[in-house]
Each structure stands twice: as C-alpha cells, then as structure tokens.
Amino acid sequence: MFDKYVLPVIKAPLVRLATPLIDRGISANQVTIAAFVVGMIGALFISMEMYGLGLVAICLNRLGDGLDGTIARITDTSSDAGGYLDIVLDFIFYSGVVVGFAVAVPEENALAAAFLIWSFMGTGSSFLAFAIMAAKQNIEQLEYGKKSLYFLGGITEGSETIACFVLMCLFPSHFVLLAVVFGCLCWVTTATRVFVSYKMLKA
C-alpha cells in the first residue's frame, strides 16, 4: 500500500549509497546474498530474544534489498536470474523472522507465528502465480519502475511487512496480537489480488 510512496523517496539515497559499492566492483547479486545472510542472523538473534540486534539486522537486510536493485539498474545488469534470487531469498527471510519469534517464546508465539506464515503463503502465491501469467500474456506494469516481476499491490506489501517486524522487535510481548492482525490483513490482500488477477487474466 505504501510502497509506491516510499520507493520514490528512497530512490536518491539508495543511488548515493550504491555508487561506492559499484566503484568497488560489488555486484547486485553479491549484495542480495550478503543481505540475506544478515537477515538470517537477525532471525537467529530474535530466536535468542535479542530483539534489538534482530531489529538492526532486519534494517540492514532491507537496506541491502534496496541496494541490490539499485546497483543492477545503474550497471544495467538486471536479469531474470537476479530477480529470481532476490524474491526467493526475500520470502525465506520474511518467514525466517517469524520463525525466530516462534522459537523465542514457543509456548506463546508458535500458533500465531504459524498463522502468519500461512498468511504469507497467501500473499506470496497470489503475487507469484499472477507474475508468471502476466509474463506469458505480456502484461506490464510500470508504476513501480523497472522490476524483474510484475508487482501486484495490496495493503500488506514490503513497507507494511517491515513496519510490522519493527513493531514486533520493539514490543515482543505483543507479538501474538501483531501477528494475528497482520495475518488477517494479508488475507485481505490475498483475496483482493485473486479477484483482480482472475478478472485481468480472464479479460
């Protein structure tokens, strides 16, 4: 929901941060993998109830997620392989953070964490399945700029997911409430995506 407003604001700072990395010969895929590793370390911190360090790692992961695409666009090295790697590692990272909270306090968090990961399956599958069909039918969307995949909107996009993770790290005792509320919003996004996607593809 907020991605289309956030992305134009962070575009210029990302270019400034990406420039020295490009000068050092660092590729977009290297940043993608490094950011993923940091994100997984953050999930490990969260599982040990070290929520502050987990939050720092989450923020660094998201910074890397913005930098890899910026580097690819500046160096004109955007590719299907890079886009594939980026999206797969993003979904693993998102689920990994939730698993971290489940491991931290399993007796309280496990059921809510399972519900949230199930909800992520809805948003992820509705997005990825449509992206495949959109590519087959040459349906393009330019609202988000140059992307490897067609991006469908919704009320639980990347910005909202990270905001939720930040709140979970800041207020870990409220994880269950945050997970259930965000999971329900994910299902609203899934339902609207399925409805809109089916109508577009059928047309």
Any idea what the CATH number is for the domain that residue 183 is in? Answer: 1.20.120.1760
| Mean per-residue pLDDT, 83-88 | 92
pTM above 0.75, yes or no: yes
What pLDDT score was predicted for residue 158?
Answer: 79
Least confident of 54-58, 89-93, 105-109, 153-157: 153-157
Looking at residue 102, its pLDDT comes to 98
Q: Please say if the pLDDT value at position 18 is more than 90.
A: yes
Cα separation, 102 vs 12, in Å, equals 37
Question: Which pLDDT band, with edges at 50, 70 and 90, does 12 fall under?
Answer: confident
Instruction: Name the domain count of the chain.
Output: 1
Residue 122 confidence (pLDDT) above 90: yes
Q: What is the pLDDT of residue 141?
A: 56
Instruction: Extract the tokens encoding 54.
Output: 């987990």
Confidence band of 193 (pLDDT split at 50, 70, 90): confident
In this structure, what are the phi and psi dihedrals at residue 153, rounded to the nearest 5 degrees? Answer: -80, -175
Q: Any idea what the Cα angle at residue 78 is, between residues 77 and 80, rounded to 5°?
A: 130
Helices (H), the chain: 3-23, 28-47, 51-74, 80-104, 106-136, 158-170, 175-202
Residue 2's pLDDT band (cuts 50, 70, 90): low
Domain range for 27: 3-202
Report in angstroms the alpha-carbon separations of 155 from 138, 184, 189, 193: 25, 11, 6, 10
Could you tell me what percent of the chain has a pLDDT over 70?
88
CA dist., res. 123 & res. 73, Å (int): 26
Whether pLDDT at 196 is above 80? yes
